A = this chain, B = another copy of it.
Amino acid sequence: MALKINLNADIGESFGKYRIGNDSELMRIIGSANIACGMHAGDPTVMHDTTLLAHQNGVSIGAHPGYNDLWGFGRRELKMRLPDIEYLVAYQIGALEAIARANGLAVTHVKPHGQLHNMAIVNDGIATAIAKAVKAVNRDLIFVGLAGSEVEKAARKLDMRFAMEGYADRTYEDDGNLTSRAQPDAVIKDPQKAVAQVVGMVQEKAIICKSGKRIPAEIHSFCVHGDEPTAVALARAVRDGLEKAGIQVVPLTEMGL
């Protein structure tokens, strides 16, 4: 039986007259789209168009909730009370659900955006606030977060469907954490190295550290980026490399979670 993997990307981050990203190209590469929900990016019309575009490409639809900080694109640290985070996340999931449902489509996963995700990775309270919102809104939703992080722990405690996420373009330390961006070798820019990392991690069911060490872990989804032409080229290479290795790229809903 063929190996399967999911690729996900942040999509639908345009706003009004402002266009951003390479959505139509990315949609042909990924299996699942994390769609902005109108707070850090996106607006109702962009959300509508993006759910349709995902459907046309056989890509499953996820909510990508973030801080309500359009100026900062959800990338600035914002200290919110935990209940505010919980309801803000529920709000955004519901907004996308309704727009998808109006098109006969369904939201099937949730991945937090930018600084909200970054803070949740290391902060139990924030991770749990998000997880509670996801589960309370719809317990069938697949929660996507960094493997080994507080996000994963929160999801496990709440007994939720959880997708372990890995990175195609980032290196790993021996403890399984991502190499800090302060290090020169944190980011993988060579598409063939990214392909090797992803194919290896899928085939070996392990995180491959930059030292060569293997940490057993079943990654369900790799995050790819589309903000620059080089990022799209890398994502394309990853997709092609996976297929060449006989690994099928599927929506998260087909990962058996």
Instruction: Decide yes or no whether A20 CB sits under 8 A from chain B.
Output: yes
Kindly supply a per-residue 1/0 record for chain A positions 65-102, scoring 1 wherever the CB is within 8 Å of any chain B CB and 0 otherwise. Answer: 00011111101111110011001101111111111011
Interface window among A41-49, A202-210, A237-245: A41-49
Taken together as a complex, chains A and B put the C-alpha atoms of A87 and B49 apart, in Å, by 10
Specify which chain B residues have a CB less than 8 angstroms from the CB of A184 in the assembled complex.
none
Taken together as a complex, chains A and B put the C-alpha atoms of A227 and B48 apart, in Å, by 25
Instruction: Decide yes or no whether A16 CB sits under 8 A from chain B.
Output: yes
Size band of the interface chain A makes with B: 35 or more
Taken together as a complex, chains A and B put the C-alpha atoms of A19 and B45 apart, in Å, by 19
Residue of B nearest to A83 (CB): B45
Are the CB atoms of A44 and B90 closer together than 8 Å?
A: yes
Instruction: Decide yes or no whether A181 CB sits under 8 A from chain B.
Output: no
Are the CB atoms of A94 and B84 closer together than 8 Å?
A: no
Residue of B nearest to A133 (CB): B102
Report the copy number of this chain in the oligomer.
Answer: 4
Instruction: Decide yes or no whether A3 CB sits under 8 A from chain B.
Output: no
Kindly supply a per-residue 1/0 record for chain A positions 131-146, scoring 1 wherever the CB is within 8 Å of any chain B CB and 0 otherwise. Answer: 0010011100000000
Q: With A16-B73, A18-B18, A43-B71 known to touch, is A90 a contact of B99 (CB < 8 Å)?
A: yes
Specify which chain B residues have a CB less than 8 angstroms from the CB of A78 in the assembled complex.
69, 72, 76-79
Taken together as a complex, chains A and B put the C-alpha atoms of A203 and B218 apart, in Å, by 68
Q: With A15-B71, A84-B44 known to touch, is A102 a contact of B77 (CB < 8 Å)?
A: no
Are the CB atoms of B91 and A136 closer together than 8 Å?
A: no
Are the CB atoms of A73 and B17 closer together than 8 Å?
A: yes
Instruction: Decide yes or no whether A38 CB sits under 8 A from chain B.
Output: yes
Kindly supply a per-residue 1/0 record for chain A positions 10-29, scoring 1 wherever the CB is within 8 Å of any chain B CB and 0 otherwise. Answer: 00000111111000000000
Specify which chain B residues have a CB less than 8 angstroms from the CB of A137 in the assembled complex.
98, 101-102
Are the CB atoms of B99 and A97 closer together than 8 Å?
A: no
Pick the contact of A97: B73, B88, B94 (CB < 8 A). B94
Binding site for B on A (CB under 8 A): 15-20, 38, 43-45, 47-48, 68-73, 75-80, 83-84, 87-88, 90-99, 101-103, 133, 136-138
Sample of 17 more A-B contacts, CB < 8 Å, known A91-B99, A94-B97, A95-B98 = A15-B18, A15-B71, A16-B71, A18-B18, A44-B84, A47-B87, A72-B80, A77-B79, A78-B79, A87-B99, A90-B102, A94-B95, A94-B99, A95-B95, A101-B137, A101-B138, A102-B133
